[in-house]
Amino acid sequence: MQFKNLLFAAAAALVSAQDAAAPPALADALSTTEDLSSLNTVLQGFPDLVATLAGASNITIFAPSNSALEAAAQVLESLQGTPDVIAALLTYHVVNASVLSANISETPTFAPTLLTNETYTSLPEGQVVGVRREGENVVVISGAGARSNVTTADVQIANGSVVHIIDSVLTLPIDVYQTAVAANLTALAGALNATNLTEPLAASEQITVFAPTTEAFDDISSALANLSVADATAILGYHVINGTVAYSSNLTNTSVETTGGSVNITIIDGAVFVNAARVIAADVLIANGVVHVIDSVLNPNGTAQPDPASDDAVVQFEGATDEGDVPYTSGVPTATGAPIPTNDDVAAGYTPPSSENAVSSSEGAAPRATGVVAAAVLFGAAGFAANM
């Protein structure tokens, strides 16, 4: 009898030790992590979402800190009348895979989220967020070039899932026209309107857009002054890859087909060129793909070559000057967001992910929660709400 009692006691101690070592459930992690108290309060109003996330396995939650939610409070308040937008925003913070910080490298990885609602994205695996390492920091890339820093990484929770606390609410990707307006790519926005390409591009399922800056349009003002709509449409089409989302980590030295002909992608010491245009801001996420900002307008008939030694944009329209008004800028709304930071060497430091893939398999995870109540913030959400 005494031996049997000892066995029972040992078994009970083993179970207790295992319980103590097991990662907490999501609800427990939220309620015991001080910097997530505001998020925990918000989620109390969405029991269906909490239940869905608690039952899922191998997911990653990018959880806005208390200060992040405080900074976004005004926008969140303005969205109270549009619950579908709130739902899209929150699901955008949940990646359908387990992403550990140790497996994130300087090469960005783009991971599908639970945002699959076709009102907000047409990407077949769901809208993505980007994750990459910058020095000792892990950065999360969301819509319109927004960047959030991970302040506390790898909070392990049950079922193989993980929480990373971030310092700002993610921005919901919007269409290419709204993104151009928000990012002060005024001439591009105006050119899309002038050529009636705004709606066709928004309706495309998957696109990559090489987006010239307003300064790039200004550099060839004389060539654009009397351009026909048909010719302008052809030039803009030369900036769009239809049917493919080519993030910067997918770009290689090759030729790719746009809707207006082939362009050459060249990577030299971390600098990325499209024909002779330098990519100065990569991976600006939009609802149906990605935008890469370039420093000159592409010419379907141009022959200019990349010049990595020069800091000046290579004008690809022979004889064009900046004489005259900046084209296509009249009547375009004022920029709604901060300018996108630029960098001459957007692929500098790109390396393969360390040891394992940065995004592990989500096999066995709960089905994607299309239609589940969720939420997040920023001008991307405000843009959707304004157009509903």
Show the low-confidence residues of the chain (pLDDT under 70). 1-21, 351-388
The count of structural domains within the chain is 2
What was the pLDDT predicted at 370?
27
Q: From residue 59, how far is each of 17, 44, 186, 358 by CA, in Å?
A: 25, 20, 38, 13
Say if 210 falls within a structural domain: yes
Residue 385, CA atoms < 13 Å, CB-side half-sphere: 23
Q: What CATH number does residue 374 fall under?
A: 2.30.180.10
Q: How much of the chain exceeds pLDDT 90, in percent? A: 70
Only one residue has tokens 């991970």, namely 150
Q: Is the dihedral of CA 219, 223, 224, 229 positive or negative?
A: negative
93 belongs to a structural domain: yes
Question: Does residue 165 fall inside a structural domain?
Answer: yes
**Two tokens, residue 226:** 């009397």
HSE at residue 166, side-chain half, CA atoms within 13 A, is 28
Torsion of CA 229, 234, 236, 238, to 10 degrees: -170
- What local confidence, expressed as pLDDT, does residue 48 receive? 79
Q: What is the pLDDT of residue 50?
A: 82
Q: What is the pTM of this model?
A: 0.86
Between the alpha carbon of residue 169 and those of residues 11, 64, 75, 176, 325, the distances in Å are 45, 6, 11, 21, 38
Asked whether residue 252 falls in the same domain as residue 368, the answer is: no
Quick check: is 14 in a domain? no
For residues 300 and 229, membership in a common domain is answered with yes
Q: Is there a contact between 292 and 210 (Cβ–Cβ < 8 Å)?
A: yes
Q: Are residues 99 and 129 in the same domain?
A: yes
Return the pLDDT at 21: 64
pLDDT of amino acid 379 = 40
Q: CA 318: distance to chain centroid?
A: 35
| Six-digit token string for 299 | 């010419």
pLDDT value of residue 13 = 45
213 and 292 Cβ atoms separated by less than 8 Å? no
pLDDT for 351: 62
Structural domain of 250: 185-334
Do both 146 and 36 map to the same domain? yes
